[in-house]
């Protein structure tokens, strides 16, 4: 049996789905969903409902994300510090307008795919961003403790503490975090010796989740292709929709499970073969669990230079000292 078939919905799954969907919690009549109880949130991305926002210069979800997040990145210093011994700086400050890939200024893009399946040609639009993994190696690996999995389900990089070493991107199966050099705390510590900027990515609109609101991209979508809400309800809804269209799921098993569930009318192997891949444009292939403690790549990354770790401790102390708000939500250990 091919992976595509394995990911299809079996009759047994469908039965379970129907039962659980009947009691799926928190899915409001508006088509959106919230968690007001502070529990873990998940997102359903229904590829069969995303039309890519034809007629709009920028899809509504991307526009909403950019309006909320563009100001998160400070102006980088000029010139960028040269990193010792041969670190490569990354600068997107002259390409803030890019919306067709992930960048430090753009946390969501629409992947296009033309796919033949069951004798039909499908023109698919696939919103792509961080998957918010259940056990994210990107958070476990961070030597500066700048990246955390929160109780809401969001995996959030603290830009005040991040040194931009990009280890999170190295261990991410989809290479999601994107670096902007010339910004961040490393400039105040040892800019040529430790760090290289700040890593940026989707934070699942963590601030809004804490208030019981949806991510802005979810609320902005005119076709309701994205749904956010309590994790159990979202899983049930994803299974129900996949069952209804004889479709496929992505994200429920990838990397040991994630808080993002894609539903598709065609197998993800075909989507992965059809999409353009490269920096800022992640694949959609199956992903085995990739935990930092057991992964050989992650272990090698953990052997960071002592100077980086020392600088990390200094940076964290420096950043925490300057923090005014000490009442933030407790974090969940990955």
Footprint of ligand SF4 on this chain (CB under 6 A)? 50-53, 59-61, 64-65, 68-69, 107-108, 110, 125, 127, 129-133, 136-138, 155, 172, 174, 176-177, 201-205, 215-217, 220-221, 223, 225-226, 255
CB 195 → ligand SF4: shortest distance, Å?
A: 19
Question: Which residue number, 142 or 187, has a Cβ lying nearer to ligand SF4?
Answer: 142
Q: Judged by CB, which is closer to ligand SF4: 80, or 216? A: 216
By C-beta, is 34 or 201 nearer to ligand SF4? 201
CA distance 326 to 310: 24
C-beta of 80 vs 263, nearer to ligand SF4 = 263
| Cα 211 to Cα 213: distance, rounded to the nearest angstrom | 6
Shortest gap between Cβ of 15 and ligand SF4 (angstroms)? Answer: 30
Strands 120-128 and 109-117: antiparallel
Q: How far apart are CA 326 and CA 334, in angstroms?
A: 21
Q: How far is the CB of 267 from ligand SF4 (least distance, A)?
A: 20
d(CA 77, CA 164): 15
- State the minimum distance, in angstroms, from the CB of residue 278 to ligand SF4: 16
Burial class, 324, CB count within 10 angstroms (exposed 0-12 / middle 13-18 / buried 19+): exposed
Shortest approach of ligand SF4 to residue 205 CB, angstroms?
4
Sorted by sequence, the CB contacts under 8 Å of residue 267 that are 6+ apart come out as 2, 3, 4, 5, 7, 8, 117, 248
What is the rounded CA–CA span in Å between residue 106 and residue 123? 23
| 309: Cβ contacts below 8 Å, ≥ 6 apart | 143
Contact status, residue 8 vs residue 205, Cβ threshold 8 Å: no
Q: Which is nearer to ligand SF4, 153 or 267 (CB)?
A: 153
The pair of three-digit structure tokens given for residue 260, joined into one six-digit string: 């993002």
Q: What's the closest the beta carbon of residue 57 comes to ligand SF4, in angstroms?
A: 12
Q: Report the residue number, 36 or 67, with the smaller CB distance to ligand SF4.
A: 67
């Amino acid at each position: 049996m091919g992976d595509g078939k394995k990911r299809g919905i079996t009759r047994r799954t469908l039965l379970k789905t129907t039962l659980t969907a009947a009691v799926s919690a928190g899915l409001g009549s508006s088509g959106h969903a919230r968690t007001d109880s502070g529990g873990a949130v998940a997102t359903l991305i229904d590829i069969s409902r995303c039309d890519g926002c034809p007629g709009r210069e920028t899809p509504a979800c991307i526009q909403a994300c950019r309006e909320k997040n563009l100001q998160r990145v400070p102006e980088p210093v000029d010139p960028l510090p040269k990193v010792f011994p041969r670190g490569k700086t990354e600068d997107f400050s002259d390409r803030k307008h890019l919306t067709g890939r992930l960048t430090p200024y753009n946390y969501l893009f629409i992947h296009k795919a033309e796919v033949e399946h069951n004798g039909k040609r499908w023109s698919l639009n696939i919103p792509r961003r961080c998957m918010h993994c259940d056990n994210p190696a990107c958070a476990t690996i961070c030597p500066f403790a700048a990246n955390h999995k929160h109780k809401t389900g969001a995996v959030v990089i603290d830009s005040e503490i991040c040194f931009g070493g990009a280890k999170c991107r190295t261990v991410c199966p989809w290479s999601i975090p994107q670096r902007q050099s010339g910004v961040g705390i490393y400039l105040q510590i040892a800019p040529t010796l430790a760090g290289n900027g700040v890593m940026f990515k989707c934070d699942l609109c963590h601030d809004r989740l804490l208030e019981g609101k949806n991510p802005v991209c979810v609320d902005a979508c005119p076709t309701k292709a994205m749904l956010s809400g309590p994790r159990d309800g979202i899983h049930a809804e994803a299974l129900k929709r996949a069952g209804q269209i004889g479709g496929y799921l992505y994200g429920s098993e990838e990397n040991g499970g994630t808080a993002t569930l894609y539903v598709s009318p065609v197998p993800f192997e075909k989507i992965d073969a059809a999409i353009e891949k490269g920096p800022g444009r992640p694949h959609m292939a199956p992903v085995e669990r990739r935990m930092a403690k057991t992964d050989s790549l992650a272990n090698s990354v953990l052997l960071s230079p002592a100077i980086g770790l020392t600088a990390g401790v200094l940076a964290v102390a420096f950043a925490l000292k300057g923090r005014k708000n000490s009442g933030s939500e407790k974090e969940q250990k990955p």
